Amino acid sequence: MSDFKSIGGTVRSRAARELRDRVLTGRLRPGDRLDLDEISQEFGISRTPVREALLELSYEGLVAVTPRSGITVIGITPEDAVDNFAVLAALAGKAAEWATARITGPELEELHRLADAVAEDGDVVDANRRFHRAVNLAAGSPRLLTYLRQAVRVVPASYFDLLPEQERRSRADHAALLDAIGTGDGAAARAIAEAHVLDAGAALDAWTRTNAASDEAPGAPQGRDVPPHGDVVSAARPPSPGAPASGSPPASRPGCAPGCSWT
């Protein structure tokens, strides 16, 4: 049984977050057809928020909703994921550059406090989210924040669960970014922020390709005992090797929104 109810947000947003995470991490694969009733039963909610969540994912191009064929996973290719991280990197870099020019003294002090929290807080995801959000807010551009919220959806909410070794690199990058912002070096701040996101995307790409190769290896478990070619499956596909078990879905950190590590 999923611990879906431990995730913060509205029922619809929680359902969308969990299903998005499963698509982005390969637990739901291209061609899978989703059963609305089975998803509702697993999550312990009614059909309406699940239907709304799947419509949201269809607008993002992750699933296709058709009247007769039902709901089919489109997914995202590794190449598309890398491209999306490149877009996110450009936006994050611009936010860091503008923050360097526009940040106030109190905001800079708060950034130092938040960076320390990332190193010390037991909930690294929430601490990381607050740090990046403070940088983005210091950029002083509501329009840029809107673009960031859109682009960041490609980052699984379970990023640090899948790649815990990235926590140390994240802290080092935060320290370098703070130094650049503190000394007023906007170009350096932009370069550091861009590299931070691109490195994260490369790490996730390597993880995804490794697990996809493991799934395709002869004798590897396929995660379902039904014929191929788009047969109906529930959302509870067993995870790929290295991912959390289905009883603990990757997106189950309380209060973590899609891509919460970056906005």
User: Which residue segments constitute the domains of the chain, with CATH numbers given?
Assistant: 4-76+211-233 (1.10.10.10), 78-204 (1.20.120.530)
Which pLDDT band, with edges at 50, 70 and 90, does 26 fall under? confident
Do the beta carbons of residue 94 and residue 190 sit within 8 Å?
yes
Question: Measuring CA to CA, how many Å separate 202 from each of 122, 146, 158, 172, 237?
Answer: 25, 24, 16, 17, 25
pLDDT at 126: 80
Of 77-91, 92-106, 155-169, highest mean pLDDT = 92-106
Per DSSP, 195 falls in state H
- Alpha-helical (H) ranges within 68-185 are 78-102, 105-120, 124-138, 142-151, 159-162, 166-182
User: Nearest Cα to 95, choosing from 168, 192, 169, 160?
Assistant: 192
Of 12-21, 133-142, 227-236, highest mean pLDDT = 133-142
Which pLDDT band, with edges at 50, 70 and 90, does 122 fall under? low
Q: What is the mean pLDDT of residues 89-113?
A: 96
In the predicted structure, residue 215 carries a pLDDT above the cut 80? no
pLDDT at 263: 47
In the predicted structure, residue 105 carries a pLDDT above the cut 80? yes
pLDDT at 166: 81
pLDDT at 159: 81
